[in-house]
Chain A
């Protein structure tokens, strides 16, 4: 902290509300023009950072958000849409309030990053930046499952990017008849939303149970030996959907041999299934724009400095959310939103000399198993050992009371409203 800020602070300590809602520090003149920040991707990472930069700098930073879509359907709570707890509209949001916060929103695809010139290429246009935030989310490695492809996703939906894929999944789910088999191919680590596939399986089961299915089965072919909140999920599956869900680890299936979109057949080393609905969630990597700009390493994800979310390969670029290697933090909307606040604080301090604080991150992920039976996992994260390091956290336990589980569900609904307002205004 400088003397200057200390003095300002003395004055502000007793200041009124009006003072608080305007920026605490006027930007120092940085040449003539306002410093420019460009953000690629208007999801939980990009939306949050753009809004916070515009809001907290009080207009001192020129913020442009480049997002290809006009509306954003959240992946988070899309499983509740699958389960019939939410409608599609309630998980779809627009950028009107982001614009109102003072962000210039460009609905177009960023086609390249010219790191030498510090410009983002959007078709024929070039948008200059002083700092760039890259938050493009994930791309799917379709060929990680033999027989699967982008075209096959119109028959075997992944629904791991929000929108029409999720609608297709719901359509197919609702058309199932008693005795049908659902097969889910779960993704290998690391992937977006570690408990997500298992919450989705729960929602599949809930829908089948509600339809009165007695003979339908859900087979989960998992490349991992274990998964997030496994003990509590499995307890819940036995309780609410006895005998319906069969989860197989690699020892049980021996390996995924492939899928055939034409016939719906799924083969493992040990068995063959005819799936009426096959949900293939392939392996994942950082969004294309980040990989094309060489921000990703050989793993396909982008290394960052844990104190700032700054890219390890370019000091003018920050990478947020799913695309980043955020150490112990899971790839979640909560994490992306948390990382965005650290990045916004650091960027403001670099561009407008506002005060910098030590980075702090946190995350909580709720998952719905059945109506009013919701579980959670979460904790704090801070820079440590060269990465974003987890402090001991919390996780739902087996045998918890119905009251706790119901309270969890209500919390998750409030959280959804809160985070959506934090991202989209």
Chain B
């Protein structure tokens, strides 16, 4: 399965997620701290790199993909492992952070 295929599947879950209060109260400072972990691999990613760019990703897509990794609906063991310990609050914080953060 590819990252694109999973999008439809997780859409409903993501929609429900957006309705929740968690996202509205996204903890940007938490996001900023958690994002330091991502920089090691994603920090210099570009449109053509194998490790994809995640700066400026829409929150919806971001949440969807990370949740898909978390339930192992997407196969890459690195991102499965990274996503495994992220709570919904963490994911919301990261999504909000990366949507606006610049490299």
Q: Which residues of A contact B (CB under 8 A)?
A: 5, 9, 12-13, 15-17, 20-21, 24, 52, 334, 337-338, 341, 345, 355, 357, 360, 362, 364, 376, 378-380, 382, 391, 393-394, 407, 410-411, 413-415, 417-419, 421-422
CB distance from B85 to the nearest CB of A (A): 6
Report yes or no: B44 in contact with A414, Cβ–Cβ below 8 A: yes
Report yes or no: A345 in contact with B43, Cβ–Cβ below 8 A: no
CB distance from B21 to the nearest CB of A (A): 12
By secondary structure, the B interface counts as: helix
Report yes or no: A16 in contact with B81, Cβ–Cβ below 8 A: no
Q: Does B12 contact A (CB under 8 A)?
A: no
Give the residues from 8 to 51 in chain B that come closer than 8 angstroms, CB to CB, to chain A: 25-30, 32-34, 36-37, 39-45, 49-51
Report yes or no: A411 in contact with B50, Cβ–Cβ below 8 A: yes
A17 in complex: contacting residue of B34, B50, B101, CB < 8 Å: B101
On chain A, the residues within 8 Å of B82 by CB distance are: 362, 380
Task: Please name 12 further chain A to chain B contacts, defined as beta carbons within 8 Å, in addition to the given A418-B44, A422-B39, sorted by A numbering.
Answer: A12-B29, A24-B28, A24-B32, A360-B85, A378-B77, A379-B81, A380-B82, A393-B81, A411-B41, A414-B45, A419-B40, A421-B44
Bound: A410/B50 CA distance, A: 6
Bound: A376/B51 CA distance, A: 15
On chain B, the residues within 8 Å of A382 by CB distance are: 85
On chain A, the residues within 8 Å of B28 by CB distance are: 9, 12-13, 15, 20, 24
Report yes or no: B49 in contact with A16, Cβ–Cβ below 8 A: no
A413, closest chain B residue (CB): B50
Report yes or no: B39 in contact with A418, Cβ–Cβ below 8 A: yes
A334 in complex: contacting residue of B36, B40, B43, CB < 8 Å: B40
Bound: A109/B18 CA distance, A: 54
Chain B 43-72, CB-CB to A under 8 Å as 1, else 0, gives 111000111000000000000000000000
Report yes or no: B25 in contact with A376, Cβ–Cβ below 8 A: no
Report yes or no: B33 in contact with A362, Cβ–Cβ below 8 A: no
Report yes or no: A357 in contact with B30, Cβ–Cβ below 8 A: yes
3 shortest interchain CB distances as A-B pairs: A410-B50, A394-B77, A414-B51
B81 in complex: contacting residue of A334, A394, A417, CB < 8 Å: A394
Report yes or no: A21 in contact with B102, Cβ–Cβ below 8 A: yes
Bound: A410/B42 CA distance, A: 13
Report yes or no: A341 in contact with B81, Cβ–Cβ below 8 A: no
On chain B, the residues within 8 Å of A417 by CB distance are: 43-44
- 16 A-B residue pairs with Cβ-Cβ distance under 8 Å, sorted by A, are A13-B28, A20-B32, A334-B40, A338-B37, A360-B34, A360-B85, A376-B77, A380-B82, A391-B85, A394-B77, A411-B78, A414-B41, A415-B40, A415-B41, A417-B44, A418-B42
On chain A, the residues within 8 Å of B102 by CB distance are: 17, 21
On chain B, the residues within 8 Å of A345 by CB distance are: 33, 36
Report yes or no: A418 in contact with B78, Cβ–Cβ below 8 A: no
Bound: A16/B101 CA distance, A: 9
CB distance from A421 to the nearest CB of B (A): 5
Bound: A391/B77 CA distance, A: 14
Bound: A337/B39 CA distance, A: 10
Bound: A334/B42 CA distance, A: 13
- Which among A12, A362, A394 has the greatest number of chain B C-beta atoms within 10 A? A362
Bound: A413/B49 CA distance, A: 9
Bound: A337/B38 CA distance, A: 11
Bound: A393/B82 CA distance, A: 10
Report yes or no: B81 in contact with A421, Cβ–Cβ below 8 A: no
Bound: A362/B34 CA distance, A: 11
On chain A, the residues within 8 Å of B49 by CB distance are: 410, 414
